A and B are shown apart, each in its own frame.
Chain A
């Protein structure tokens, strides 16, 4: 609270981001400890969580006031005009402080408390049990076992405590291998395909340099390929472009030499690094924010940003992996540099392709917990939760969600969840409202002990958005209810027929069973009705609202073509002759 000097500013203008005629809404801006709130004259509220703010800019003073531009991590961009420079400066400074927290304890998750008792909260955190998940995959079994090597986070700080390794890999081999791998991230099991008896394993790059080798590491890889009784050779996928991997050799790192390892097939798949991804997204956002964007600018911008090319590279890698397992029954070892960005993307997406369980809501949560959270994807740094190195920020997880979204588009029936679910997740990796994505790996999280203050993100009901998918999902739910209603009604009719003299009793019974049903209450003046309460709310026709912004899009074209003749203000063309 000590950062907030001004809590309320009136007569603030919110500019329409895409309007070339500077359309705006006037309202009041409030600054709270956790949110920035704008209420316009139509009482429409815009809430911006401080942690969602990626960038605050104060632009040069204009005649109408001081412009304040806020870019959010969930890709919202708002452009305010504050009448007095002093207020603008206060808000700017406050936001600057509030959006970048130096300590984990200052984050919203620590103060977010939706009135839950401790047991509910604990249940929320225990919803996902990874040991249970490995059991579901079919490990431990005769080839794979749980290793206690990392029990105290001694071998690898960024790995979880429970790790699954081939049964024949002894502890010295593991320790030896971990010393030969960047950040100690030795090869471990990520996913086991029970039917094909093939495994997806993950690790970081070997410290091979130009010629170094490590017998333990070679043994461990051999153990992995031996753990697959069907196919002796295994794939080693380096998800980096070949050039990057070679450059790493000069730094004493690098990639596996096929001559040193028996039975491996080495493969580069060429996913770019976090810096390329960050600037790619930046370019994409710049294109999308352009006023009066033309179709060809949009597509050339989309192309030069390379964003979709990167998405495709990740998808291609996952498909390669899934094919290796289903077609060749071969195990695959995936790594990149440190094995927490690209490796997480490819392993999780590959598992999603292979296993329909991960396409359910629960399964998807498990997948994120397993491949991202427990294996140490650096959520805090990648999402810029705390004030840190801006070069560590990168949309790696966003890309993963986007890949999944592409799959939901192509295979609409294969997924239990929808777009809204993915968006909700994306919202929360940046919001710091729930504890799941805080911290960079399991160990760090346990030291902080903040899990007691949390509410589990996935317990929340998801906001419905207008879409065909939602209408259908709701209808499906409704069908189940209707089936139940039919059963109820049938049994009641039976009762009525059996006890013709007990009319009053039956009626009371009906009323007591369904007190909320108006149709039953007024059964004498029966009215035929359709039962689509939820759907009606969903089917609001968004584009038909007169206040809709969309309308201004044509209007701008309007004023652009003949600026001298027609000008547009608040959506009404006026003659200016």
Chain B
């Protein structure tokens, strides 16, 4: 345990300690900067004090809401802790677990990778020197870094740029060592390439490529095909054109919608994200995701997988953190991608609605799980607007390096500081939200995917009736809360009155 501030849950009650030859002890578990302490809070029973540095390995098990942590110590002792509540158990486990990851400042001056932030998370066993070497082997210097850690089973999502194998199959020992360092003994991982096998093979001619099985025997490669750049941009232009078509003819509308291919892209992206989440949660395998640069489709997949896997990323703060981590810090070139939108006639170069597609995918999941998100559709629409044009500095620049040079932190306001004001938050809060700790599996069948009317038909159909219905819904929920609070107060009053009565009678 290096930092006391990393302790998420410092105290848990009703923990049961099992040790060989001793009766089970129920008590309170405390985590301090150096020790794990279990005390029954009675004078006669002894307390357990365990140095964090004595912990050799831990195992986690769950039976319903009850979690069990088995701690194996360096002095060969093995003890078992039963902790009620999955959340608490995971927090305790992740606090005492000896981390296999470390923060690296190798990119402090943006010298190793211009599109990465100054601080990245990498396997502990890989030093900065090796990282520098790996960076030369990956497109844009984007060496594999940690994107997401799945607390439940310790599996991870990593992302990177494509390996620069070229036509003659160049390899890099450090790269192989780095990604193998993330695998547990005897485990295999998946590499999800967001390009089709064909495209990936063609990339070799330009010096790019993909991981050869022979050099990465512990990894299985899966190719998915997510479109890039101008193909997505053209799709957006066609879609918006179809939506603005005022001739009310059913067939033309359907064929135009189909020809835009927008929903096909949505399906591809969502499917790949679900596949990634499936590898992590169901197969118990870690994954590495990349396409070519690792700044577009890669980020769509890593961020959507987190929406599926991690309940926190479905809250407002969690989603903001996700955008900050997986899009802004991870170097999605907002400036280039969002320079023009669907109406621009001039020759497009770098424009692509990558971020909008991501938001659309989130909307699709939100629509399928209307109670699992803390934010509503308006929040997503707001983010879309600010990505394309904003009075805030948040989405300016193409990466952290550019933002530093522009001194955005000194010269502009942050979007988040405005959004997180209570008056603004209330517009973006989903009244139906009920936190759930589960992984949510959206349907990706074409029948389940819908056109996002809130974005694409926003200006050519009146949303009056839908808005009214939404308002009514909010009113009903608010009123319900009010009534419940009132009932609770009245019940308490009644209970107090009754106790008084009994007190008067009993003497």
B403 at the interface (CB under 8 A from A): no
Bound complex: CA A475 to CA B481 (Å): 10
Contact, CB under 8 Å: A482 / B480: yes
Which residues of A sit under 8 angstroms from B501, Cβ to Cβ? Answer: 496, 500, 503-504, 506-507
**Is the beta-carbon distance between A308 and B250 smaller than 8 angstroms?**
yes
Kindly state whether residue A530 has any CB partner on chain B within 8 Å: yes
Give A297 to B434 CA distance when docked, in angstroms.
36
B493: chain A residues within 8 A (beta carbon): 489, 493
* Residues from chain B with Cβ under 8 Å of A300 in the complex: 254-255, 258
Chain B residue at minimum C-beta to C-beta distance from A411? B465
A501 to B489, alpha carbons, bound, how many Å? 23
Interface residues of A in 293-309 (CB under 8 A from B): 293-300, 302-303, 306, 308-309
Determine if A41 is an interface residue (Cβ-Cβ < 8 Å).
no
Whether the Cβ atoms of B476 and A475 lie closer than 8 Å is yes
Cβ contacts under 8 Å, A414 to chain B: 465
Collect the chain B residues with CB atoms within 8 Å of residue A553's CB.
Answer: 271, 274, 443-445
Task: Say if the beta carbon of A557 comes within 8 Å of chain B.
Answer: yes
- Given A309-B251, A479-B480, A489-B487; A523-B473 close (CB under 8 Å): no
From residue B471, how far is it (CB to closest CB) to chain A in Å? 10
Q: How many residues of B contact A (CB 8 A)?
A: 71
Instruction: Give the distance in Å from the alpha carbon of A571 to the alpha carbon of B504 in the complex.
Output: 66
- Chain A residues numbered 452-495 whose CB sits less than 8 Å from any CB in chain B: 468, 471-472, 475-476, 478-479, 482-483, 485-486, 489-490, 492-493
**What is the distance, in angstroms, from B271's C-beta to the closest C-beta of chain A?**
5
| Given contact pairs A294-B446, A413-B469, A503-B501, A558 touches B275 in the complex (Cβ within 8 A) | yes
User: What CA separation (Å) do A573 and B281 show in the bound complex?
Assistant: 12
Task: Give bound CA distance, A308 to B257, whole Å.
Answer: 14
Q: Is B6 an interface residue, CB under 8 A from the partner?
A: no
Contacts of B484 on A, CB cut-off 8 Å? Answer: 482, 530-531
B446→A298 contact, CB < 8 A: yes
| B222 within 8 Å of A (CB atoms) | yes
Which of A293, A500, A528 contacts B445, CB < 8 Å?
Answer: A293
Q: Is the CB of B368 within 8 A of A543?
A: yes
Q: Name the A residues within 8 Å of B442 (CB-CB).
A: 543, 550
Cβ of B440 and Cβ of A472 under 8 Å apart? no
Which of A293, A298, A300, A504 lies at the interface centre, i.e. has the most chain B CB atoms within 10 A of its CB?
Answer: A298
A62 at the B interface (CB under 8 A) = no
Contact yes or no, A523 B495, CB < 8 A:
yes
Closest chain B residue, CB of each to CB of A410: B465
Partner of A544, one of B432, B440, B446: B440
- Cβ B278 vs Cβ A541 within 8 A: no
Interface membership of chain A positions 533-577, coded 1 if the CB is closer than 8 angstroms to chain B and 0 otherwise: 000000101011010101101110110011001100001110100
Residue of B nearest to A562 (CB): B222
Partner of B438, one of A510, A541, A562: A541
Q: Known interface pairs A309-B250, A475-B476. Does A482 touch B369 (Cβ–Cβ under 8 Å)?
A: no
**Assuming the A-B contacts A293-B446, A300-B258, A479-B483, are A523 and B369 also in contact, with contact meaning beta carbons closer than 8 angstroms in the complex?**
no
Is A210 an interface residue, CB under 8 A from the partner? no
Give the nearest-CB partner of B263 in chain A.
Answer: A295
- Contact of A561 with B223 in the complex, beta carbons under 8 Å: yes
User: In the docked arrangement, what's the CA distance between A503 and B502, Å?
Assistant: 7
Q: Is the CB of A550 within 8 A of B486?
A: no
Q: Is the CB of B497 within 8 A of A288?
A: no
Q: Which of B423-449 contact A (CB under 8 A)?
A: 432, 434, 436, 438-447, 449
Q: Which residue of B lies closest to A525 (CB)?
A: B495
Min Cβ gap B18→A in Å is 29
Closest partner residue, chain B, to A478 (CB atom):
B480
Q: Does B488 contact A (CB under 8 A)?
A: yes
The A contact surface, by secondary structure, is helix
Q: Enumerate B471-501 residues with CB–CB distance to A below 8 Å.
A: 472-473, 476-477, 479-480, 483-484, 486-488, 490-495, 497-501
Residues of B within 8 A of A483 (CB): 483
Q: Is the CB of A312 within 8 A of B250?
A: yes
- The reply to whether the CB of A497 lies closer than 8 angstroms to some CB of chain B is yes
Contact partners of B325 in chain A: CB under 8 A = none
B429 to chain A, nearest CB (A): 15
A1 to chain B, nearest CB (A): 39
Chain A contact patch, size range: 35 or more
- Report the Cα distance A528→B492, complex, angstroms: 9
Q: Which residues of A contact B488 (CB under 8 A)?
A: 528-529
Q: Which residue in A18, A303, A476 is a CB contact (below 8 Å) of B254? A: A303
A-B interface contact total, Cβ < 8 Å = 197
Chain A residues near B439: list those with CB within 8 A: 544
Q: Tell me which residues across on chain B come within 8 A of A529, comparing CB atoms.
A: 488
**A interface footprint on B362-383 (CB within 8 Å = 1, 0 otherwise):** 0000001111100000000000
Q: Which interface residue of A479, A489, A554, A566 has the most chain B CB atoms within 10 A?
A: A554
Query: Which residues in window 231-289 of B have CB below 8 A to A?
Result: 250-251, 254-255, 257-258, 261, 263-264, 266-267, 271, 274-275, 278-279, 282-283
The smallest C-beta distance from A278 to any residue of chain B, in angstroms, reads 19
- Judge if A519 is at the interface, Cβ distance under 8 Å: yes
Verify A575–B188 contact, CB threshold 8 A: yes
Closest Cβ neighbor of A288 among chain B residues: B447
Known contacts: A308-B250, A496-B498. The answer to whether A544 contacts B490 by CB under 8 A is no
A554 lies within 8 A of B504 (CB): no
| A residues near B275, Cβ cutoff 8 Å | 554-555, 557-558
- A231–B137 Cα distance when bound, in Å, is 83
**B185: interface (CB < 8 Å):** no
Contacts of B494 in A (CB 8 A): 489, 492-493, 496, 510, 520, 523
Residue of A296, A306, A482 near B261 (CB, 8 A) is: A296
Task: State whether A486 and B490 are in contact (beta carbons under 8 Å apart), knowing that A295-B446, A561-B222 are contacts in the complex.
Answer: yes
B466 within 8 A of A: yes
Since A543-B368, A554-B275 are in contact, a sample of 16 more A-B pairs with Cβ atoms closer than 8 Å, ordered by chain A residue number, is A293-B446, A295-B261, A296-B261, A297-B446, A299-B254, A309-B250, A309-B251, A468-B432, A472-B477, A475-B477, A489-B493, A501-B504, A503-B505, A524-B495, A541-B371, A565-B220
The 7 closest A-B pairs by CB, nearest first: A503-B501, A299-B258, A298-B446, A482-B483, A544-B438, A489-B490, A303-B254
Hey, which bits of chain A sit against chain B, CB under 8 A? 18, 288, 293-300, 302-303, 306, 308-309, 312, 410-414, 468, 471-472, 475-476, 478-479, 482-483, 485-486, 489-490, 492-493, 496-497, 500-501, 503-504, 506-507, 510, 519-520, 523-524, 526, 528-531, 539, 541, 543-544, 546, 548, 550-551, 553-555, 557-558, 561-562, 565-566, 571-573, 575
Q: List 28 A-B contacts (CB under 8 A).
A: A293-B446, A295-B449, A298-B447, A303-B250, A306-B251, A312-B250, A410-B465, A413-B469, A414-B465, A472-B476, A476-B476, A478-B480, A479-B483, A483-B483, A486-B490, A492-B494, A496-B498, A497-B497, A501-B504, A503-B505, A519-B491, A523-B498, A543-B442, A544-B441, A550-B443, A551-B278, A562-B222, A566-B222
